[in-house]
């Protein structure tokens, strides 16, 4: 059913929209008979006043939005939760808008915000920042981004220190005596556009190389395993890793993301390789997948809470009129050691 509006009530009551608004708002300049007629019409139609509209009129409603990616509810859930807490502390509601396969993609979602009482938007891991930037400019909506996939940022952007995080977790492996360390990454050619142009993959590979170089281990491209369908957790094994293990002996594996760990662990078990006794395995992100696998995964934790709160801080600064450059601001990560490398 279409929502009943003040205009619908005004037609039934035979008075103007402004009179309906005043009558329902208990204004004293409306006669008792008119007020009763308006209320009867509203009840007949099933009119429900908009809480948001009423708060806007009273100056008591402030909101910002977050556009979340068209992917499973995963790493960005704690980011949204933190952003909501930070927004509330500043007197704002946070509204969440999933892309969820919308026709026209993220640009159409952004343009739809023109009909929403929002003062700005946080773009979380959007695959096409350029289209989102054009859409924001078209409707005059302030915006910032949480993103580590795009090489060319279009917004003030916050992300994790992917390169340093990868370096730190490889240094952890080196400190436990591991020396033949493979890096398992993915080819995004087989993935859809949700993952952008894969900047985070390159940054994490660079951190891996830097850690090896620091202790005098020469980078060996043959130890880099690039797999198709890298984030498909239902895969029973990783054939590209299996092929490497046919040729080489390794004592540690770095998964470019936690989501790759489950099929990697299954691949090792197929070969009767024990984790961590024979091969240590580490990941990156510290999302839920890291604690659901067996053994639980040593990984790099992204600063989810800080990503959410910092994005809100940046957005509210832009809403207030401050000019912020379209540059990336990186926040530090931390290594969480669990049984897969102990």
pLDDT for position 290: 96
Report CA torsion sign: 169, 194, 128, 119: negative
CA distance 73 to 297: 20
The pTM for the full model equals: 0.81
Q: Which residue ranges of the chain lie beneath pLDDT 50? A: 1, 51
pLDDT for position 161: 98
User: Rounded to 5 degrees, what angle do the CA atoms 34, 40, 41 make?
Assistant: 90
Which tokens belong to 231? 């984030």
CA distance 254 to 256: 6
**Contact call for residues 261 and 283 (beta carbons, < 8 A):** yes
Domain positions in the chain are: 6-49, 61-159+304-331, 162-302
6-49 has which fold?
434 Repressor (Amino-terminal Domain) (1.10.260)
Query: Is-same-fold flag (6-49; 162-302)?
Result: no
User: For 327, which DSSP code?
Assistant: -
CA distance 284 to 204: 9
What is the CATH class of 61-159+304-331? alpha beta
pLDDT tens digits for range 31-51: 889 989 998 998 888 776 654
pLDDT for position 1: 42
CATH label, 162-302, candidates 3.40.630.10, 3.40.50.2300, 3.30.460.80, 3.30.70.1450: 3.40.50.2300
pLDDT for position 60: 60
């Amino acid at each position: 059913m279409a929502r009943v509006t003040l205009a619908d009530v005004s037609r039934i009551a035979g008075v103007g929209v402004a009179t309906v608004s005043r009558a329902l708002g208990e204004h004293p300049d409306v006669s008792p008979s008119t007020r009763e007629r308006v209320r009867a019409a509203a009840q007949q139609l099933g009119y429900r006043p908009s809480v948001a509209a009423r708060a806007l009129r009273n100056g008591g409603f402030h909101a910002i939005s977050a556009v979340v990616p068209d992917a499973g509810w995963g790493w960005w859930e704690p980011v949204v939760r933190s952003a909501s807490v930070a927004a509330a502390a500043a007197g704002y509601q946070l509204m969440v808008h999933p892309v969820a396969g919308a026709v026209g993609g993220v640009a159409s979602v952004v343009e739809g915000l023109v009909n929403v009482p929002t003062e700005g938007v946080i773009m979380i891991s959007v695959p096409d920042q350029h289209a989102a930037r054009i859409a924001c400019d078209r409707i005059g909506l302030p915006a910032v981004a949480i993103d580590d996939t795009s090489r060319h940022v279009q917004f003030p952007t916050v992300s994790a220190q992917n390169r340093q995080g990868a370096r730190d977790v490889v240094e952890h492996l080196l400190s436990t005596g591991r020396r033949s360390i493979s890096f398992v990454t993915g080819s995004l050619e087989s993935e859809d556009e949700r993952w952008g142009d894969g900047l985070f993959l390159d940054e994490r590979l660079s951190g891996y190389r830097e850690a090896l170089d620091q202790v005098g281990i020469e980078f060996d491209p043959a130890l880099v395993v690039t797999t198709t369908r890298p984030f498909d957790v239902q895969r029973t094994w990783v054939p590209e890793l299996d092929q490497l293990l046919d040729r080489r002996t390794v004592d540690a594996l770095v998964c470019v993301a936690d989501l790759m760990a489950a099929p990697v662990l299954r691949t090792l078990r197929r070969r009767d390789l024990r984790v961590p006794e024979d091969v240590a395995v580490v990941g990156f992100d510290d999302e839920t997948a890291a604690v659901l696998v067996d053994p639980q995964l040593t990984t790099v934790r992204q600063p989810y809470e800080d990503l959410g709160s910092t994005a809100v801080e940046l957005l509210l600064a832009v809403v207030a009129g401050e000019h912020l450059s379209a540059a990336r601001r990186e926040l530090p990560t931390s290594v969480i050691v669990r049984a897969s490398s102990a």
